[in-house]
Amino acid sequence: MNRIDRYNLGLFWLFFIGSLAIFATVFMAIDAMSTMVSNEGIEMTTLIRYYAYTLPEIIYRMIPVAGVMATIFTLSSLQRAGELIALFSLGMSLTRVTIPLVLSVLLMSGVSLFLSDQVLPGMARMKNYVYYHEIRKNPSLYSMVKTNRIWYRSKDTIFNLKTLNEQAHKAQGLTLYYFNEDWNLIQMITASEVDLLQSTWKLRNGSVTVFTEESSFPMTSDFKEKTISMGEDAKDLSSTANTSDVLSLRELNQFIKKNKEAGLDTLRYEVDYHSKYGFAIAGLVMVLLGIPFSVGKARSGGLMANLGVCLGLVFAYWILYSSALTLGYHGSLPPIVAAWAPNLFMGAFGLIMIKRQKK
């Protein structure tokens, strides 16, 4: 690494840290205002702890945006000062000039993967605990997720689910326990499939077991279909069951394998698993897009034009990325294709545009 590379890296990291700080602060401020409006009477210490646990996730989400912003502003600064032309005159190509920037983004991709695998799951569990216990003041909606089941407690009932598809409002592998005032088990219901229709649940292919003090043997009866009323709205229940967010990559992989062996639907979790890897290199893809456009626009429109291009690239990438994941969740695309197709497509487009540059 020569002096020119160190100079370019200095500019890049200055813009990167500044962009990351600005985006994270604005995002957190807007979200905090929304949280305070939606939940009155929140203590400031509670709000601070909640966003302390949320901050790593915000940084993780903003890394790709900050990376492309830093790249565009670095190249724009070099272009405005005439330094980029000077580097070209020395025989350095645009690819050679941007190699240190790309390597820096690769480093940040590794940091992103580490955050999603080792840091964010633990933070998500603590964030959810604070949210449902201290902000919503409804601990019954707080879910404890293990690698093989999702557990909930609601007033006088405890139930667990093997899988939960929040978008389709369906669940599989339900076991529901009813207790009396003394917390003695009085009834157990199992079902292989559940339709979550607001507070009404439709159960299929299950059994009801009743425990009484008069008999030492429980009475069990099977059913094909059964409708029960639950205390939680299905929408609230679904919002607490983001299993992929609170599991590491290894734990999520085990969760998928165990549920597949049980014959349960794991499509959504497979998409989430592959998307954790795909999102890690989102910053690299966006930088490849930003390099050719930042140089081209710097010659004709200046800094504001580059900023517009940056926002346009971010918007276009996220539309494609979100659309691919949605198709994956609905089974229209294989999970690995849904997670990687946007990166491959946009990355190839960026490389083609870089190659078309004269320098």
Q: What is the pLDDT of residues 203-260, one digit of tens each?
A: 999 999 998 877 777 889 999 999 988 765 445 555 555 568 888 899 889 888 877 8
Do 109 and 190 have their domain in common? no
Element of type H or E holding 190: strand 185-197
Beta partners for residue 222, in sequence order? 207
220, 239, 258 — which closes off a domain? Answer: 239
At 9 the pLDDT is 93
Evaluate whether residue 340 is within a structural domain.
yes
**Alpha carbons 196 and 125: distance in angstroms, whole number:** 24
Which residue from 91, 135, 147 is spatially nearest to 273, judged by alpha carbons?
147
At 238 the pLDDT is 52
* Spans of the chain, pLDDT less than 70: 1, 139-150, 153-155, 166-168, 231-243, 262, 296-303, 306-307, 310, 358-359
258 C-beta neighbours (distance < 10 Å), count? 15
Element of type H or E holding 161: strand 157-161
pLDDT in tens, 153-172: 666 788 888 877 766 678 88
101's tokens: 């920037």
Do 211 and 352 have their domain in common? no
95's tokens: 């690819």
Do 230 and 340 have their domain in common? no
Do 273 and 220 have their domain in common? no
Do 124 and 164 have their domain in common? no
**Alpha carbons 4 and 187: distance in angstroms, whole number:** 74
239, 254, 282 — which closes off a domain? Answer: 239
107's tokens: 């480093």
Do 213 and 93 have their domain in common? no
Phi, psi of 215 (to 5 degrees): -125, 140
Helix boundaries (H) for 211-333: 234-239, 249-261, 267-280, 282-300, 302-329
Do 294 and 175 have their domain in common? no
pTM reported for the whole predicted model? 0.76
CB 203 within 8 A of CB 223: yes
Evaluate whether residue 262 is within a structural domain.
no
At 234 the pLDDT is 46
For all residues of the chain together, what is the average pLDDT? 83
DSSP assigned state of 136: S
CB 133 within 8 A of CB 226: no
224, 239, 254 — which closes off a domain? Answer: 239
Evaluate whether residue 244 is within a structural domain.
no
Do 126 and 157 have their domain in common? no
Phi, psi of 37 (to 5 degrees): -70, -40
Do 151 and 196 have their domain in common? yes
Evaluate whether residue 272 is within a structural domain.
yes
The total of structural domains in the chain comes to 2
Evaluate whether residue 281 is within a structural domain.
yes
At 149 the pLDDT is 61
Evaluate whether residue 258 is within a structural domain.
no
236 C-beta neighbours (distance < 10 Å), count? 15
Evaluate whether residue 31 is within a structural domain.
yes
Range of the domain at 216: 145-239
DSSP assigned state of 119: I
Evaluate whether residue 19 is within a structural domain.
yes
Element of type H or E holding 346: helix 335-356
Do 165 and 311 have their domain in common? no
201 C-beta neighbours (distance < 10 Å), count? 24
Q: Which amino acid does the sequence have at 338?
A: A
- Tell which phi-psi region holds residue 189, choosing left (phi > 0), alpha (psi between -120 and 50) or beta: beta
**Alpha carbons 142 and 130: distance in angstroms, whole number:** 9
Do 208 and 273 have their domain in common? no
Do 82 and 26 have their domain in common? yes
Phi, psi of 266 (to 5 degrees): -120, 15
